[in-house]
Structure 1
Amino acid sequence: MDARRGLSSRRRLLLGLGAPLLLGAAGLGYAVWPEAESGEKVRTDLGPLNRRFWTALGDVSGAHWLGYSNGAPLSETADDRSVPSPDSRMRLVGVAHLQQGTANRIMRDPAHHFEVSSLAGLPVPLKPYVPSSAAWKQSETYDKVALEEGLSVIPSGTFRFDGIRDLVYFDYVFLYT
């Protein structure tokens, strides 16, 4: 009988020590996991981007992007995990490669006056995918025309192009239905 009691005491001791150690290890793993820092996962799938931007940009490749509920925080310091917003707008922000020559073809269109621009407010998770030496150009008229093409609800946003690398940076808000 004493042998049984000793065995169950050891099990209780091991459970008493093991459970907190396992929970602590799981918490530490979550804290150091790359996505846990910002709560934002960089996506690389192309389907949603090609469906949304095809008429304006053609097929994109090599994309790195984030998708947010418009009520969600999107800043360098944001780490707000709260109740989802009733706002049904979605925001897509990211960078993608265009087919060769597409960026220069778009920027040469005389209907749009492209000017040198910067990427203010770039989300931290995207920084590794955006070349620091990119020469970004933007046109407000291009943004307006490109975003209203074929859509029943006019979204808002901007496109910036780097003609040297055939890159597009997009920051786009649309009504999610």
Structure 2
Amino acid sequence: MDGTAGIGRRGLLAFGAVVAVAACAPASRQAGSEKDSGQGGAKDKVRTDPAPLVRRFTLLGPLSDVHWLGISSGEDSRMSVPGPIDVRVVGVARLEAGTGAAIVAVPQRDFRPGQPARVPKKLAALLPKGAAWVRSEAFNQEVTGGRYTGEFYVDAGADRVYFDTVDPSVAASTGP
């Protein structure tokens, strides 16, 4: 062996290592500056489309006056690792008239007073002032079906719901 094959192999391995590291590196400063200037994509925008939520939270019924965010975990972290990303779906919506009272009236759900925690700044101003939020572990489990984690706060008098979920999946009965 004359040594050139070893150098070629080492060079190829070094090149592969550089490519692998580059693939894991954070986005360029130029791409980041677009996000920082407030001209970023849909992930920065408060969404108002109810369809994705209605498919996922079928027990809530029709929703209107919807304001929500889809926040990728590790989005702002320099240490994020390529791979599956959890998405936090959090927001507030109006329920159909009388739905809040009907949800809370089921005795097995055992609703108790509670306040939403970790409300994103972009949604805080959209929460109704003076809301009488109640929550129930049993209702959370009913809505999520054990497929994902989530908390649901209901203001029965105002027919409003606040939700904070991670990776909410579409209910099996609603299709893709």
Structure 1 residue runs of 4 or more that deviate by more than 4 Å after TM superposition: 81-85
Alignment of 1:117-136 (within 5 A): 117-136=114-133
What is the rounded CA distance, in whole Å, between the counterparts of 1:176 and 1:85 in structure 2? 21
Gap regions ≥5 residues in structure 2 = 1-32, 171-176
- What's 1:139 paired with? 136
User: How far did 1:42 drift?
Assistant: 0.4
Question: Matched residues in 1 for 2:110 and 2:138: separation?
Answer: 7
Between the aligned partners of 2:84 and 2:169, the Cα distance in structure 1 is 9
Match of 2:52 in 1: 48
Does residue 87 (structure 1) correspond to residue 91 (structure 2)? The answer is: no
**1:58–1:99: 8 Å Cα contact kept in structure 2?**
yes
Structure 1: runs of 5 or more not aligned: 1-26, 73-79
Distance 1:68 1:112, change over 3 A: same
Number of equivalenced pairs? 134
Q: Which amino acid aligns with 1:134?
A: A
TM score, norm. by length of structure 2: 0.67
What is the rounded CA distance, in whole Å, between the counterparts of 2:87 and 2:81 in structure 1?
12
Q: Work out which of the two has the higher radius of gyration on C-alpha atoms and give 1 or 2.
A: 1
Residue in 2 that maps onto 1:75: none
For residues 106-157 of structure 1, what are the alpha-carbon distances to aligned partners after superposition, in whole Å with 9 as ceiling and x for unaligned?
A: 0010111111001221100001210131110000111012210xxxx71111
Classify the secondary structure of the residue corresponding to 2:158: coil
Once the two structures are TM-superposed, the CA of residue 176 in structure 1 deviates from its matched residue by 6.8
Task: Give the corresponding residue for 2:60.
Answer: 57
CA contact (8 A) 1:92 1:173 kept: yes
Task: Report sequence identity in percent.
Answer: 37
CA contact (8 A) 2:89 2:168 kept: no
1:86, distance to aligned residue in structure 2 (A): 2.1
Which amino acid letter does the alignment assign opposite residue 134 of structure 2?
K
Give RMSD over aligned pairs: 2.6
